Homo-oligomer: A and B are copies of this chain.
Amino acid sequence: MRVAVIGASGYTGAEALRLIVGHPYLEVGPLVGRQHAGKPISEVLPHLTGLVDDIVQPLDIRAIKAEADLVVSALPHGASAEIVASLRDEGLPVFDLSADFRLEDRDVYRTWYGDHGAPQWFGRSVYGLVELYRERLREADLVAVPGCYPTASILALAPLISEKVVDPKGIVVDAKSGVSGAGRGASEATHFPHAAEGIKAYKVAGQHRHTPEIEQELSKLAGTPLALTFTPHLAPMTRGILATAYAMATAPRPADSQNECILAAQRFYASSPSVVVLDPGQNPDTRAVRGSNRAHLAYHFDPRTGRVIAQAAIDNLIKGAAGQAIQCINVRFGWDEADGLSGPAVWP
């Protein structure tokens, strides 16, 4: 099947391309980009030189319809909604990496992102976290692939909240991201001398747009609305997200709370090939998932404070973006969930 990639020259587009090239059932279809239209993609993505030399195309919905069987869209939110709607109107299955179809409540969308560009399609997507929505994704034609922070945060906490091992109130998520999470556009904050050799928080105190997405999914699992404190940090590395989440154990039993968490996670992810629950005492390392579609999870319990510390490490561009889209495609088309995604991390 041929995959059109919209926004092919950005980081998630590039990573989608890399994964499509290595996938047993997918082929590279039209590569769409605005800024670099007319150039060979390898001029913009230097690692593809000699491997993929397709010319970047300007956006043309009909051409995509003619040449592609499905679409991975890696546009910024806002710009995405309308184009995704046009592709859906043509009947194309769309796996959208933007935030435009992730939220279920339009008021919440409006609060965080403003007016929606395709209200007629709002609410008709499936949230593309395979570990939570595997069944619904088998028939989904509009998939809202989660952001990188929500993927790490939700994966770490979902089993605990779902199995009521922790209190859904009072959760704190302290997340550390590599700089590629900010996208390809150069800025003052991502200029090497400002992003290397130090660490800094940003959008502190509930200002980051991924907050409502995390809360939406965890609230559904909790069966009750939930608000949490989310603090993103920019760490001096290119790839990787580590989410360190803090929640109160519902019944602090020092002797076995850690095991209870680990068992809950093992059950929850029993049929999820992308998730690895680490042994007691281990901590996830972003280096151990870099270049892979895997999430490494770990659980600790602090008997002195009754608090559970849940951690998740992912590669923000893969399990936090392009790999997740491919995982959804695999599920949607009935292939093995891990097809094209089974490679280990590139370590060290």
Chain B binder among A99-107, A130-138, A286-294: A286-294
Known: A50-B276, A172-B307, A344-B48. A192 touches B246 (CB 8 A): no
**Docked complex Cα distance between A196 and B286 (Å):** 10
Q: Which residues of B are found within 8 Å of A202, using beta-carbon distances?
A: 283
CB distance from A311 to the nearest CB of B (A): 6
Q: Which residues of B are found within 8 Å of A190, using beta-carbon distances?
A: 186, 191-193
- The residue of chain B having its C-beta at the shortest distance from the C-beta of A290 within the complex is B198
Contact string against B for A residues 174-196, beta-carbon threshold 8 Å, 1 for contact and 0 otherwise: 10101110001111101111111
In contact, A291 and B346 (Cβ under 8 angstroms): yes
A162 within 8 A of B: no
In contact, B292 and A199 (Cβ under 8 angstroms): no
**Docked complex Cα distance between A193 and B178 (Å):** 9
A127 within 8 A of B: no
In contact, A236 and B233 (Cβ under 8 angstroms): no
CB distance from A92 to the nearest CB of B (A): 26
Known: A174-B244, A180-B193, A229-B309. A200 touches B283 (CB 8 A): yes
Contact string against B for A residues 146-175, beta-carbon threshold 8 Å, 1 for contact and 0 otherwise: 000000000000000000000000101010
In contact, B47 and A288 (Cβ under 8 angstroms): yes
**Docked complex Cα distance between A195 and B227 (Å):** 34
The one of B229, B237, B244, B346 in contact with A305, judged by C-beta atoms closer than 8 angstroms, is B229
